[in-house]
């Protein structure tokens, strides 16, 4: 059976390049679905100099814009009412109206892709923002402990469905941050008042976690090589590094609390979606996702499709090479940090940090994470392999797809048109056609 193929497209792609080039790229990749991002906020993502992702065929810009916005029509919490002012960001609606009609005419479905917990509205709502263990606001992130944030997310999803009438909605940024503008400490979230109060009802007292997390973050900043050695020596399970921050199970309880918050958010969104369209989820690779609030076993019942971002070039969506490079220019320290990541998440390779910085993770990472995802989903959701065709070249694309196919996904979601060369997209289409013809 031919797998489902989807191509992820940003609103600014449609604005800058036009609808037809986007649809031509989808056809080139063999995609019958375009996932159009109508609401996102990317100013929160740290980008080190020289590591910005190049847009090879965009005639207007050389790197990502800050985001796209979807004009509100529904009822939102007063403190989280999105702006309805027109402007550069408010182009999600326009991109949809330009792309969807011609796509429909050529048999391509367009599915809205929506970011939920990262939003421009967070910048004006400090009471609803995530706070790291140091008490700092994590810029652009909304905390799902707040009932208003859950209501905001549900209103955004309802708005998109009401205005666009799509067959499905694809939601993203349903997690906690990995690292952000404040550095590693942003991954130690959330410590806002709402999280303190809600965690206490579950027997978890976040004040007990603050000091060990701050101590580890400070050690990582001051002496990353020693922090990596301490962590690496303690790695014996998927949470081995985190165990070093506490002499009891408080950290594990905290991680499970975050799973509860993300599952609750997804469940509430699924209730809004039910009977109107399908719900599709964009998640991180399961080993890495578990640390950031996404337990795929708990999310599987709510979604028709789940797409783990097995992006070997960028370590599952998080730029681990960039993070390691930010710790120190010393190759010895960088390698110590990489070996910690490799042990913690069972990355199959490469063996050293220099190869990681050049080429990303071994493509076997794709197979391992998708096989784990398959086991966790247990047939309750369709599994889509999230493949990044970025700086791979056509042969690298084929290699990534071959490794994905070993885990038997039923779909391939390609991220993304903006950064892919056309010959890389063509390699996807040729590979899909060969499989459809039985040539594997």
For residue 241, is pLDDT > 70?
no
112-128: pLDDT as tens digits: 999 999 988 998 899 99
Q: What are phi and psi of 54, to 5 degrees?
A: -75, 140
Total domains, the chain: 1
- The DSSP code sequence of 164-224 is H--SEEEEE--S--SSBTTBGGGGSB--SHHHHHHHHHTT--THHHHHHHHHHHHHHHH-H
- Mean pLDDT, residues 256-268: 97
Is residue 212 within 8 A of residue 248, CB to CB? The reply is no
């990995």: which residue's tokens? 178
- Mean pLDDT, residues 60-68: 79
Lowest mean pLDDT among 70-74, 98-102, 365-369, 396-400: 70-74
At residue 321, the pLDDT reads: 82
Give the three-state DSSP class for 48: coil
Smallest CA-to-CA distance from 166 within 6, 278, 64 is with 278
327-348: pLDDT as tens digits: 888 898 888 888 878 877 888 9
Token output for 50: 């020289």
At residue 45, the pLDDT reads: 67
Lowest mean pLDDT among 5-19, 76-90, 93-107: 76-90
| Banded model confidence at residue 99, pLDDT cuts 50, 70, 90 | very high
- Mean pLDDT, residues 140-153: 97
At residue 247, the pLDDT reads: 46
Lowest mean pLDDT among 26-40, 250-264, 292-306: 250-264
- Four-CA torsion 255, 257, 258, 262, nearest 10 degrees: 140
For residue 8, is pLDDT > 70?
yes
At residue 427, the pLDDT reads: 98
- Mean pLDDT, residues 152-174: 97
Max distance between CA atoms of the chain, in angstroms, equals 61
198-220: pLDDT as tens digits: 999 999 999 988 888 888 888 87
Give the three-state DSSP class for 255: helix
3-state secondary structure string across 64-84: CCCEECCCCCCCCCHHHCCCC
3-state secondary structure string across 114-168: EECCECHHHHHCHHHEEEECCCCEEEEEECCCCHHHHHHHHHHHHHHHHHHCCCE
At residue 233, the pLDDT reads: 60
Cα three-residue angle 257-143-79, rounded to 5 degrees: 145
* Alpha-carbon distances of 159 from 109, 256, 404, rounded to whole Å: 19, 31, 34
What percent of the chain is modeled with pLDDT above 70?
92
State the residue range of the domain holding 207: 4-436
CATH of residue 426: 3.20.20.80
At residue 68, the pLDDT reads: 82
Is residue 29 within 8 A of residue 429, CB to CB? The reply is yes
Mean pLDDT of the chain: 89
> Can you say whether residue 246 is alpha, beta or left, with left for phi > 0 and alpha for psi between -120 and 50 degrees?
beta
C-alpha distance across the termini of the chain, in Å: 13
Dist CA 421 CA 414 (whole Å): 12
At residue 54, the pLDDT reads: 83
Paired residues of 412 in beta bridges: 5, 385
Dist CA 107 CA 74 (whole Å): 30
Whether omega before 246 lies within 30 degrees of 0, making that bond cis, reads no
Token output for 13: 């792609």
| Banded model confidence at residue 240, pLDDT cuts 50, 70, 90 | very low
Q: Residues 20, 21, 23, 27: is their CA dihedral positive or negative?
A: positive
């Amino acid at each position: 059976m031919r797998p489902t193929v989807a191509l992820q497209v940003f609103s600014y792609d449609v604005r800058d390049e036009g609808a037809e080039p986007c649809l031509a790229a989808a056809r080139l990749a063999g995609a019958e679905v375009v996932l159009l991002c109508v609401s996102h906020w990317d100013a929160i993502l740290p980008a080190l100099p020289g590591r910005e992702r190049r847009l090879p065929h965009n005639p207007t810009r050389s790197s990502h814009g800050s985001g796209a916005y979807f004009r509100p029509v529904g009822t939102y919490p007063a403190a989280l009412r999105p702006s309805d002012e027109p402007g550069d960001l408010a182009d999600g609606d326009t991109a949809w109206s330009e792309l969807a009609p011609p796509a429909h005419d050529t048999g391509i479905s367009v599915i809205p892709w929506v970011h939920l917990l990262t939003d421009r509205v967070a910048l004006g709502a400090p009471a609803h923002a995530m706070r790291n263990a140091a008490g700092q606001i994590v810029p652009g992130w909304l905390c799902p402990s707040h009932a208003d944030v859950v209501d905001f997310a549900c209103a955004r999803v309802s708005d998109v469905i009401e205005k666009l009438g799509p067959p499905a909605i694809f939601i993203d940024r349903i997690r906690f941050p990995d690292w952000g503008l404040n550095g590693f400490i942003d991954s130690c979230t959330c410590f806002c008042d709402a999280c303190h109060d809600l965690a206490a009802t579950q027997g978890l007292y976040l004040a007990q976690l603050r000091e060990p997390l701050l101590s580890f973050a400070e050690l990582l900043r001051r002496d990353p090589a020693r922090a990596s050695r301490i962590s690496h020596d303690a790695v014996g399970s998927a949470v081995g590094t985190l165990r070093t921050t506490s002499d009891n199970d408080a950290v594990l309880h905290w991680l499970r609390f975050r799973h509860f918050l993300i599952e609750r958010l997804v469940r509430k969104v699924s209730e809004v979606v039910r009977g109107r369209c399908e719900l599709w989820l964009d998640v991180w690779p399961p080993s890495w996702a578990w640390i950031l609030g996404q337990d795929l076993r708990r999310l599987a019942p709510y979604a028709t499709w789940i797409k783990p971002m097995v992006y070997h070039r960028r370590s599952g969506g998080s730029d681990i090479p960039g993070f390691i490079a930010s710790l120190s220019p010393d190759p010895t320290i960088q390698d110590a940090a990489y070996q910690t990541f490799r042990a913690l998440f069972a990355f199959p390779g490469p063996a050293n940090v220099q190869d990681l910085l050049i080429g990303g993770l071994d493509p076997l990472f794709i197979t391992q994470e998708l096989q784990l995802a398959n086991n966790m989903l247990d047939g309750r959701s369709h599994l889509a392999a999230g493949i990044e065709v970025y700086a791979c070249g056509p042969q690298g694309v084929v290699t990534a797809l071959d490794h994905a196919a070993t885990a038997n996904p039923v779909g391939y979601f390609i991220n993304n048109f903006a950064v892919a060369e056309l010959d890389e997209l063509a390699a996807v289409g040729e590979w899909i056609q060969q499989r459809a013809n039985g040539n594997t």
